[in-house]
Amino acid sequence: MKLYEYMGKELFTLYGIPVPAGGVVAVPEEAEVLAGKIGAVVVKSQVLSGKRGKSGGIGFADSPYQARELAAKMLGSRLSGLAVDKILVEKKLQIDRELYLALTIDGALRKPVLLSSAQGGMDIEEVPEELIIKIALDANIGLQPFIAREVTRRLGLSGAVARQVVDILLKMYRIFVERDAELLEINPLVVSGEQVIAADAKVTIDDDALYRQSGLPLVEERTATEKAAHEIGLSYVELDGDIAVMANGAGITMATLDLIEYYGGRAANFLDAGGGAGVEQTAKALELLLARKPKTIIINIFGGITRCDDVAAAFAYVKQNIGIPVPVVIRLVGTNEERGREILRENGIEAYQLMHEAAAKAVQIAREN
Amino acid sequence: MAVYLFADTQVLVQGITGNQGSFHTRQMVNYGTKVVAGVSPGKGGQALEGIPVYDTVAAAAEHHLLDASILFTPAPFAKDAAFEAIDAGVKVLVMLPEHIPVHDALAVTAFAKVRGTVLVGPNTFGVVSSGKCKIGIMPSQFFVPGKVGVVSRSGTLCYEIVGTLKAAGFGTSTVVGLGGDRVVGLSFTDVLAEMEQDSETEAIVMVGEIGGSAEEEAALFIKERVTKPVIAYLAGKSAPPGKRMGHAGAIIERGKGSFAGKVKALNNAGVPVAELPFQVPELVAGSLRK
């Protein structure tokens, strides 16, 4: 889950990382009031997309009147397809240097990594690799002060500025671990005279840890269907075809999509019903797929922890109680397969044994309807 | 020989009295796995199918030699249970649960490394040395002894491949589920290194998917160190960039981890790549004829 910049900065403030004076507002008049207190300000639209600077999502105002005008223009507009309903109004900083700091997780190394660069301010993707300092951290000891001091040395910092950057790095690591962050990025970290200030905040929280992060605000980036799917424990991604797909396991779901494409069809979605989905969950998943009115549905189950008879029972339940108005192709093998096939037979469906035959059939049905 | 698990491996089940834990313990025992003890806090003194249940791993270790453990513990408690098993000195730990916070996975991975424990998962179906010992939730009937080693990021897709191989007359030596999460204990490279040394394994099938760089790293390793034939199957050819396909790692970001890039890296290492599951047995047969 990504946090809006202003939420990230609230988190920074809580941990003592300096951010520019300012606040978040939802109406232009509030921007005027804030600018009246602060002076020259930067006005930043709060959307979960990078590249705000390039697409007009960030502007400067020297007077309260200008701040209100700018706010009025931004609020209610759309940026990269996202509605702007909040803006951050902050003191415009005198910028002497711009640094880059980030903490993230390297899956290949299986370690947290600290990234830093003396070339902050621009998109880090555009910074040449040799100008990025990457340090893999040992989760057994975490980010110790000696590591932070070494980072400041390599960034060419000294004195009070170096000391503040060390302090910020240690606080970042605390947030990273205590708040279950997957990514924590400050770009730029501004050196303004003797002061070091986080001018931006990018924070992504691990979705699997949200259950223990009750203090964090919730940010919704999913479509309504994706949200409904998530609530019943399914992994769902909307696509633009007409063949609805349900399978158990991310890999086999992807393989099902590949097969549909191979036979010339187009999948309407990716839906991984997960390991061990029971009758109720599977029935809800089916209802979700039906709601988008596909031409056909393909269910591809290779039962391990998922039991074939549960899937078949869920299908029977939905068919009898809600009705399934489109043809359904089912492939069923694995745990309790025989009982599952029996249930389907009682409901007038002969399950396939091979997934590519099932996929070919689904594509054929979609083409004919 | 097989790798990681052998006919005499003594297994502990953590979370043995739960719904999944008890169901799959019975499946493992039926397969021939030597499940010697179970742990379920607060249920010490009970038994499941004659298998004694203890309150803690330390208590189980007082009475049994524990070579390996499998966790059915729910995600919020999995880190603690994993530390407990590693601390008790198991050699192989299979961490089954999905949705384990990534920071917990980092902590467990780091501790396992310090203690020299082989960590499988999290978010894995487990490991099986066919006909000898299975530690996991895979459907037993597809895992018959043979000469093909299989290593996979994905669960059901791996069953699919193993099922296709079996239908074509190929059994398996050891099948390893790496796990679908971003941070997991074993990599393709770790398993390839073991299988290269294993006398029972004559060919290796890698089941990969889009996202991350695990397949590309494996390709480099294969080129330099693996003499046995390796076949790869990759899922996600049709996946659009920027959409996370279920697994934490399965996303094409900034052009990295794409299907085409992985195929190129693997082909460069002499590894033929199947785009669809049913193409795998043919490629295996071809590689063994050479």
Residues of A in contact with B238 (CB under 8 A): 254, 257-258, 260-261, 267
Q: Kindly write down the DSSP assignment for every residue of chain B, as one continuous string.
A: --SS--TT-EEEEETTTSHHHHHHHHHHHHHT-EEEEEE-TT-TT-EETTEEEESSHHHHHHHS---EEEE---HHHHHHHHHHHHHTT-SEEEE--S---HHHHHHHHHHHHHHT-EEE-SS--EEEETTTEEEES--GGG--EEEEEEEES-SHHHHHHHHHHHHTT--EEEEEE--SSSS-S--HHHHHHHHHH-TT--EEEEEEESSSSHHHHHHHHHHHH--S-EEEEEE-TTPPTT---SSTT---BTTBT-HHHHHHHHHHTT--EESSGGGHHHHHHHHHH-
The size of the A-B interface in CB pairs under 8 A is 167
Q: A67 and chain B: CB distance < 8 Å anywhere?
A: no
Alpha-carbon torsion angle A156, A160, A165, A168, nearest 10 = 180
Count CB neighbours of A78 within 10 A. Answer: 10
Tokens of B232: 């790869």
Instruction: Tell me the shortest Cα–Cα distance from A106 to chain B, in angstroms.
Output: 8
Q: Kindly write down the DSSP assignment for every residue of A303-366, as one continuous string.
A: ESSS-HHHHHHHHHHHHHHT---S-EEEEEEETTHHHHHHHHHHTT-PPBS-HHHHHHHHHHHH
Mutate to test the interface with B, among A258, A269, A299, A336 (most CBs of B within 10 A): A258
Strand partners, A98: A190
Q: A200 and chain B: CB distance < 8 Å anywhere?
A: no
CA-based nearest residue in chain B for residue A265: B238
Say if B10-120 and B138-289 have the same CATH topology. Answer: yes
Asked if A272 and A301 count as a contact pair (C-beta separation under 8 A), the reply is no
Residues of B in contact with A239 (CB under 8 A): 240, 243
Q: A247 and chain B: CB distance < 8 Å anywhere?
A: yes
Tokens of B32: 């021939």
Which pLDDT value is given to residue A275?
Answer: 67
Tokens of A315: 């299908």
Q: A235 and chain B: CB distance < 8 Å anywhere?
A: yes
Q: A270 and chain B: CB distance < 8 Å anywhere?
A: yes
Q: A85 and chain B: CB distance < 8 Å anywhere?
A: no
CA-based nearest residue in chain B for residue A260: B238
Say which CATH class B138-289 falls into. Answer: alpha beta
Give the side-chain half-sphere CA count within 13 A for B99.
18
Q: Do B155 and A259 touch (CB under 8 A)?
A: no
Closest residue to A254, CB basis, from B137, B185, B236: B236
Which pLDDT value is given to residue B290?
Answer: 72
Q: Do B100 and A237 touch (CB under 8 A)?
A: no
Q: A278 and chain B: CB distance < 8 Å anywhere?
A: no
Q: What ipTM was reported for this prediction?
A: 0.89
Q: A183 and chain B: CB distance < 8 Å anywhere?
A: no
Instruction: Tell me the shortest Cα–Cα distance from A319 to chain B, in angstroms.
Output: 26
Intervals of chain B under pLDDT 50: none
Does the CA dihedral B13-B18-B24-B27 come out positive or negative?
A: positive
Q: A50 and chain B: CB distance < 8 Å anywhere?
A: no
Spatial strand order of the sheet with B273-274 comes to B133-136, B126-129, B172-177, B145-152, B203-209, B230-235, B273-274
Say which CATH class B10-120 falls into. Answer: alpha beta
Which pLDDT value is given to residue B254?
Answer: 65
Residues of B in contact with A268 (CB under 8 A): none
For tokens 């397809």, the residue is A81
Q: Do A108 and B214 touch (CB under 8 A)?
A: yes
Tokens of A340: 């599952």
Nearest of B122, B126, B123 to residue B24 by alpha carbon: B126
Q: Which residue type sits at A210? A: L
Q: Do A255 and B187 touch (CB under 8 A)?
A: no
Which pLDDT value is given to residue B240?
Answer: 86
Instruction: Tell me the shortest Cα–Cα distance from B276 to chain A, in angstroms.
Output: 7
- What 3-state class would DSSP assign to A190? strand
Q: Do A110 and B183 touch (CB under 8 A)?
A: yes
Nearest of B20, B256, B250, B34 to residue B152 by alpha carbon: B250
- What 3-state class would DSSP assign to A112? strand
What residue segments make up the domains of chain B, in order of their start?
A: 10-120, 138-289
Please, what are the domains in chain A?
Answer: 21-91 (3.30.1490.20), 97-212 (3.30.470.20), 224-368 (3.40.50.261)
Q: Do B139 and A304 touch (CB under 8 A)?
A: yes
Residues 71-110 of B with CB under 8 A from A: 75-76, 98-104, 106-107, 109-110
Residues 26-65 of B with CB under 8 A from A: none
Measured distance CA(A202)–CA(A223) in Å, rounded: 22
Q: Do B125 and A302 touch (CB under 8 A)?
A: no
Query: Which residues of A are known catalytic residues?
Result: 100, 185
Measured distance CA(B75)–CA(B120) in Å, rounded: 15
Instruction: Tell me the shortest Cα–Cα distance from A5 to chain B, in angstroms.
Output: 21
Intervals of chain A under pLDDT 50: none
Query: Which residues of B are known catalytic residues?
Result: 247
Q: Do A209 and B183 touch (CB under 8 A)?
A: no
**Strand A181-192 relative to strand A202-205, pairing:** antiparallel
Closest residue to A255, CB basis, from B160, B217, B249: B160
